[in-house]
């Protein structure tokens, strides 16, 4: 169907991967190269630790509080839902939106715990905006472990990260672009940019509907 408001909408790019695979670095790179060709770009990171919900998530990740697996899963999802209206507005206004983690992290980290099913984990994110492209930065947990700052937060344990990576590879589909993240930063950035500029969807879709 012809839907005028979506005609010139911005694209939604998501970066996913295990801890320390280089997501934040590449989000910034893509933002500045797209701005360099005249696009307006907004970057979001999940979890957004700045909101009321995000401050609880932050405490959980820093191991200052404990929560049941179900409760923290739902907080991560709520933390995405609280920005959804703003993101939709921006996309419809032609802004390119880049996200550092999204619902796929939500699912994969929770499923990797072994206590919650995939179906249960997917349900609360049902209806959030579907990304136009997911860049999966693939890196072995052993190599990620050698990068700066590894090991301080709750999930930064190699055996757990192996399970998370397996789960990402299980749920990926044709909207994912798998990138070998064990390369120099600039090479990865160039590969991502070349792919990103070719993504141009019109219809805005929702996840898992």
> Kind of pairing, strands 41-45 and 96-100?
parallel
- Exposed, middle or buried: residue 2 (CB in 10 Å: 0-12, 13-18, 19+)? exposed
Phi, psi of 53 (to 5 degrees): -65, -45
**Smallest distance, ligand T5A to C-beta of residue 46, A:** 4
If we measure between CA atoms, which residue out of 27, 43, 78, 42 comes closest to residue 57?
A: 78
Distances (CA, A) of 2 to 6, 91, 94, 120: 9, 17, 17, 35
Binding string to Na ion for residues 21 to 60, with x set by CB under 5 A, is what? ---x------------------------------------
Return the residues of window 83-122 that contact ligand T5A according to CB under 6 A. Answer: 101, 105-106, 109
| 146 touches ligand T5A (CB under 6 A) | no
Q: Which residues contact 93 (CB under 8 A, 6 or more apart)?
A: 10
Q: Return the range that interacts with ligand T5A (CB under 6 A); candidates 81-89, 127-135, 184-192, 200-208.
A: 184-192
Binding residues for ligand T5A, how many (CB under 6 A)? 24
Q: Return the range that interacts with ligand T5A (CB under 6 A); candidates 83-91, 116-124, 177-185, 198-206.
A: 177-185
104 binds, among ligand T5A, Na ion, none (CB under 5 to 8 A by kind): none
Binding site for ligand T5A (CB under 6 A): 17, 19-25, 46-47, 61, 76, 101, 105-106, 109, 147-148, 153, 155, 183-185, 188
């Amino acid at each position: 169907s012809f839907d005028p408001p979506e005609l010139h909408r911005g694209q939604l790019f998501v970066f996913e991967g295990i801890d320390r695979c280089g997501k934040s670095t590449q989000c910034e790179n893509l933002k500045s190269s797209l701005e360099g060709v005249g696009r307006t770009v907004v970057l979001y990171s999940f979890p957004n630790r700045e909101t009321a919900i995000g401050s609880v998530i932050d405490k959980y990740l820093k191991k200052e509080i404990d929560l049941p697996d179900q409760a923290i899963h739902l907080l991560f999802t709520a933390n995405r839902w609280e920005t959804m209206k703003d993101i939709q507005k921006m996309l419809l206004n032609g802004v390119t939106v880049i996200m550092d983690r999204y619902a796929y992290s939500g699912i994969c980290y929770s499923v990797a715990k072994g206590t919650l099913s995939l179906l249960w984990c997917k349900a609360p994110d049902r209806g959030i905006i579907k990304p136009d492209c997911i860049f999966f930065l693939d890196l072995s947990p052993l190599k990620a472990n050698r990068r700066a700052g590894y090991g301080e937060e709750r999930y930064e344990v190699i055996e757990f990260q192996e399970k998370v990576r397996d789960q990402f590879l299980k749920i990926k589909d044709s909207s994912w672009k798998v990138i070998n993240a064990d390369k120099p930063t600039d090479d990865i950035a160039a590969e991502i940019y070349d792919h990103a500029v070719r993504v141009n969807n019109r219809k805005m879709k929702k996840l898992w509907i």
